[in-house]
Chain A
Amino acid sequence: MENQVILNAKQVELTISRLCHQLIENHGDFSESILIGLQPRGINVVTRLKARLEEILGKEVKCGNLDITFYRDDFRRREKPIIPSTTNIDFSIENKKIVLVDDVLFTGRTIRSGMDALLAFGRPQQVELLTMIDRRFKRHLPIQADYVGKTVDTMVSERVSVEWKETEGKDRVLLFNQEDNG
């Protein structure tokens, strides 16, 4: 089966813009809000959102990276230990509105770990979730996103990949069969 393009470069740009406007509706000028990207793939989404938000608002938007490796629930259920990426939250999240950002929402387990990891930094006033792609009906946990780029129906054997100009050379979202991808 051919890889299916869910979003092309133009659509990715439009989606990012729309998500930014939705964020502004709820968070105003972002003076009390912070975007936090989940390592590794949420970081790219945050970079784009931040750039677009700052363009619209004309001021700096606070962002951070969160690594959730040590908070996962599948440690020792895997072949190898997972090697952590960096966490970069050098500000207080106490009483702030946090938007967790990831590229694909699938089982919800990453987000569960992400919330655990986030709470180790303090007690935010509110936590929301933004995802570029929501693979609906595939959740293992009762977790839903507040902001969704695009909702897709997929099979478990399929894989969704969000690609970026900075890392893969092209902005696009692909759907492919695991078997095709070896």
Chain B
Amino acid sequence: MDNLSVEHLIGIRDLTKADIELIFKTADQFKDVINRPIKKVPSLRDVTIANLFFENSTRTRLSFELAEKRLSADVVNFSASSSSVSKGETLVDTVNNILSMKVDMVVMRHPNPGAAKFLSDRIDAKVVNAGDGTHEHPTQALLDAFTIREKLGTLEGKKVVIVGDILHSRVALSNILCLQKLGAEVMVCGPTTLIPNHIDKLGVKVSHNLRHALEWCDVANMLRIQLERQDIKYFPSLREYSMLFGLNKEILDSLSKEIVVMHPGPINRGVEITSDVADSKQAVILQQVENGVAIRMAVIYLLAGKIERQ
């Protein structure tokens, strides 16, 4: 296996296990590169990448931009708030305008689920999904799995619990698919209102009791409550949520084994995770961010190899 089976990275759903392993293998080398005195390689000198962010993002956007720059690609940035989108232009028109300036790859975050797929069917450039609404966020899932692999050696047979707002989380869906493809067992945990109906059809366990979930798992991935996507109240108060589903040092220390704590960011300290847990040795939150750059370099490198030359 020395090539991806896909032309775009729309979601983890389209990837095979071999694809994911190829991305990890390539990311291992890029992780080495970004720890060198000169953190840049010339591979993508002739590639131009547009970062289209129709939704706010700090970490993902920075991480993609750094990844692109460390591969020596030319980068153009675009954010919806300062663009013609607010003047009524359609997505395809906006993107085609950008592509006519000879852009080879598009990294897009969009509030609508399916936006990345929609775009990839209509344009010539390679598309990398950086999050489409509540659908998928494939690079986040890849970097989470990569971090677990780095920490525990393998994903095979490991137990991962995803805690929090599963209903609104694209990170949760991508993570479930990715972890399962790599042979891990997945449980979701949260208030009933934030766990989608029929999620057990994906082959995941469901729990509404945080302690029970933590006792079961090797890794806990704590998700943020996505207040911006919640149009109604899903639980009485943040305080109550944090009492029932927030991870604090007391619970963590009372567990029978040492688990790995992850968080995709941004953290709401004191809600889903307390400060002392976020800053503890068991938390790999900053490693996740570091690995994010390596994973994104690998994805872009492998997809760029598929760009046809004129």
**B residues within 8 Å of A by Cβ?**
2-3, 22, 25-26, 28-29, 32-33, 36-38, 40-44, 46-47, 71, 301-302, 304-307, 309
Residues of B within 8 A of A86 (CB): 28-29, 32
Known: A80-B3, A81-B2. Contact between A71 and B305, CB under 8 A? Answer: no
> Which of B3, B33, B38, B305 touches A75 (beta carbons < 8 Å)?
B305
> Which of B2, B42, B301 touches A71 (beta carbons < 8 Å)?
B42
The reply to whether A76 and B42 contact each other, CB–CB distance below 8 Å, is: no
Residues of B within 8 A of A131 (CB): none
> Which of B37, B41, B46, B301 touches A81 (beta carbons < 8 Å)?
B301
Residues of chain A in range 64-94 having any CB-CB distance to chain B below 8 Å:
67, 69-72, 75-78, 80-87
Known: A76-B46, A80-B2, A81-B2. Contact between A120 and B40, CB under 8 A? Answer: yes
* A24 in contact (CB, < 8 A): no
Residues of B within 8 A of A137 (CB): none
The reply to whether A70 and B37 contact each other, CB–CB distance below 8 Å, is: no
- The list of the 4 closest CB pairs from A to B, nearest first, reads A81-B305, A70-B41, A120-B38, A84-B29
Cα(A67)–Cα(B28), bound, Å: 13
> Which of B26, B307, B309 touches A84 (beta carbons < 8 Å)?
B26
Residues of B within 8 A of A75 (CB): 43-44, 304-305
Contact-residue size bin, chain A (C-beta under 8 Å from the other chain)? 20 to 34
- Once A and B bind, how many residue pairs between them come within 8 Å at the CB atom? 62
Can you list 6 A-B pairs with a CB-CB distance of less than 8 A?
Answer: A70-B301, A71-B42, A75-B44, A76-B304, A83-B22, A86-B32
Residues of B within 8 A of A119 (CB): 38
The reply to whether B29 and A81 contact each other, CB–CB distance below 8 Å, is: no
Cα(A82)–Cα(B302), bound, Å: 9
The reply to whether A71 and B302 contact each other, CB–CB distance below 8 Å, is: no
* A28 in contact (CB, < 8 A): no
Known: A71-B42, A81-B3. Contact between A76 and B36, CB under 8 A? Answer: no
Residue of B whose beta carbon sits closest to that of A123 = B37
Residues of B within 8 A of A67 (CB): 29
